[in-house]
Amino acid sequence: MRRAFCIGEVIIPNRVVLAPMAGLSTSAYRRHMKAHGVGMVTTEMVSAYGLMFGNVRTGEYLDFADDERPVAVQLFGDSPEVMGRAAEGVVSRPCIPDLLDVNMGCPVRKVMKTGAGAALLGDADKAVAVAAAVVAAAGQAGVPVTVKLRSGLRPGDRIAVDLAPRLQEVGVQAVGIHPRAASEYYRGTADHDITAALVRALDVPVLASGDISGVESALAVFEATGAAALMVARGVAGNPWLVGALLSGRSAARPPLSEVVADLRLLLARVVDERGPERAARWMRKLLGWYLRPSGVAATKIEHLRSLPDARLLDAALAELAAETA
């Protein structure tokens, strides 16, 4: 897992990469996970239409720091023309990402009802046209393009196995696969036989996502499928130490609560720098349970921490929590 690999000409320093997660994969979080050792990070999915219409908040999703590299920007949309123009805009900015990723895997209704995300799996010709448009635009700046897929729309679908070779033909240089149907969201078990089928069908790297939550099971997926890398997402939210365990190939006990809280406070400081104290406190709420519940912190204590309106109050309460267990 510590070996480097390449996507196009971009060198990824190891085989553990951070999947994009809506509402979570901000620059502060990406930098935090970089510090924990991930080889590559990806932005939250960015609306191609939002970029086309100059939406300020959408444009902010494109910002990243140099210490995040290699970094990918993920775009979503249903129109080859709009996706191509959005990609042109991204690679013409002063600070160009290392890669562009096309979202063909998001199962969320509000995305799919626009024809974007996993909905593209229902129209293979349009999906290929979207990828080709982004490849053409990104190629002007020498930026490789990747695509994130689900296995299909419904359980039993193997649309990705047929679609991925066509994406490779139009210039896509890596494919990420979460082998669940869009209708399953995160229920059931990821079918990594589909991941292995993609590895056999493609000459470009395949990145495996889905159920990457423990060292032994994750390494079993890596070895059985022949995937080039593992994409971690929910499995590291609240457990960033899984990254180091995957890289070492050895399971490790969860750190003591004092270390868990120290990591939370470090992340909080990064988020404050990015968003200010009030917005940071609100943003951290989703992570408090993921971090603290596995360490045995009572639900009432976690709810109290979530209620705090300011990062200064939250940081002080976290410091007090750590002191109580010292």
Tally: H helices and E strands in the chain: 14, 10
* Maximum CA extent, the chain: 60
Report how far residue 162's alpha carbon sits from residue 157's, in angstroms, rounded to the nearest whole number: 10
Report how far residue 52's alpha carbon sits from residue 54's, in angstroms, rounded to the nearest whole number: 6
Closest C-alpha among 325, 216, 221, 316 to residue 269: 316
Q: Which of 1, 106, 118, 145 is catalytic?
A: 106
Which residues are registered as beta bridge partners of 231?
A: 17, 209
C-alpha separations of 39 from 7, 23, 128 in Å: 12, 21, 28
Closest C-alpha among 235, 254, 265, 326 to residue 296: 254
Sequence-ordered list of residues with C-beta below 8 angstroms from that of 119, at least 6 positions apart, any chain: 78, 111, 112, 113, 182
Report residue 51 as tokens: 């970029």
Report how far residue 218's alpha carbon sits from residue 254's, in angstroms, rounded to the nearest whole number: 17
Report residue 6 as tokens: 């390449």
Is 6 part of the annotated catalytic residue set?
no
C-alpha separations of 16 from 3, 219, 244, 257 in Å: 10, 11, 9, 25
CA within 13 Å, CB half, 110: 2
Return left, alpha or beta for 211; rule: phi > 0 is left, psi -120 to 50 is alpha, else beta: left
The shares of helix, strand and coil residues in the chain, as percent rounded to the nearest 5, are: 50, 15, 35
Residues known to be catalytic: 106
